[in-house]
Amino acid sequence: MEMRRSTIVLIFVFLTLTLMFGCSKGKMGSNSAGMMKIFRDQLDRRVKVKFPPRRIVSMAPSVTEMLFAIGLGDKIVGVTDYCDYPPAALKKPKIGGYYNPNVETILSLNPDLVIATADGYNRGVVNKLTSLGISCYVVNPQTIEGILNTMIELGRITGRTKEAQETVERLRRRVEAIRSKVREIPPDRRVKVFYCVGPTELWTAGSGTYIDDLIEEAGGINIAHGSKQHWFQFSGEELIKDNPDVIIVAGMISNDKAADLPLWSKYKEVKAVREGKIYPFDPDMLNRPGPRSVDVLEMMFKRFYPSGGSADDK
């Protein structure tokens, strides 16, 4: 009888310890998968993030492209209507437009993390979501270097540091290859460039913009660089006076049609117009500061310097 009682006690103790350690292990696993970490975003906001986040909403096409590039496609649960690259982004649930994302839709996706850009029209949504307890991380890359650093940062806040570093290293090698070629071109042989937002008016990008940095990295001189305005309408008189060697247009136009646009008929004395050096770029690739910006950088360099930067290029 005593032996039976001892056996029962031992079994009870064993089951109790098993349950205790089993529950403890499960609790630790849950905490390690969902512990909170604090980060500073690119607006120096203090953001508390459930780490690593498993449900991410992107509020910009450029952000979506960066997240996919560092291997986070499976964690994205919502994107804007304009997030169309890579093709897998088209299959993700939509949160509304880039300018008017739907807060209720975002909440319904139960995100651990929302990643937005610093554009003014996003701030109201970011403030609203933050007030409702949603973690919102804001990025603001305005240079090629800023894009690469942002991708590293996104890897850090999502637990994908290794993947982000590997992706950025591949991109950085390509950027450095262009920088090396540009360094060999004397300042007096750098091409003057005019960037045109669209094919109908002379809207352009001044200093401090991502486009301005992209032109400079590709070895060009942005003729609108001297303006303190970021985005503004350039005057026809200034275009004629500055006489750019190359014009790049953000628009889905074939190369052989770009020089024939009615816009340029008034500026036939401008060198780029006279020589037909008006080149269209896919506006989605050109205007999104993301991983494909390195593709654009390489394409720009080829347009600016078809001979690789020799004296024949200008």
Ordered structural domains, the chain, with CATH: 33-167 (3.40.50.1980), 185-313 (3.40.50.1980)
If one compares 90 and 2, the residue with the highest pLDDT of the two is 90
> d(Cα 248, Cα 117) in Å, to the nearest integer?
25
Specify which of 83-92, 119-128, 255-264 reaches the highest per-range mean pLDDT. 83-92
**Complete DSSP assignment for 82-112:** T---SGGGGGSPB-B-SSSB-HHHHHHT--S
Average pLDDT for 145-162: 97
pLDDT at 257: 66
- What pLDDT shows up at residue 311? 59
Residue 313 pLDDT more than 70? no
Q: Looking at residue 179, what is its pLDDT?
A: 97
The two three-digit tokens of residue 307, written as one number: 């001979």
Residues 35-90 have pLDDT tens digits of 999 999 999 999 999 999 999 999 999 999 999 999 999 999 999 999 999 999 99
Q: What is the pLDDT of residue 228?
A: 85
Alpha helices in the chain (DSSP H): 2-34, 61-69, 103-108, 120-131, 144-158, 161-183, 210-217, 236-242, 255-258, 271-274, 283-287, 293-304
Which pTM was predicted? Answer: 0.85
Report the alpha-carbon distance of residue 183 to residue 181 in Å, rounded: 5
Provide the angle, in degrees to the nearest 10, between the axes of the packed helices 144-158 and 61-69. Answer: 60
Cα distances (Å, whole numbers) of residue 264 to 59, 212, 257, 271: 36, 22, 11, 11
Q: What is the C-alpha separation between 51 and 34, in angstroms, rounded?
A: 5
The residue type of 177 is: A
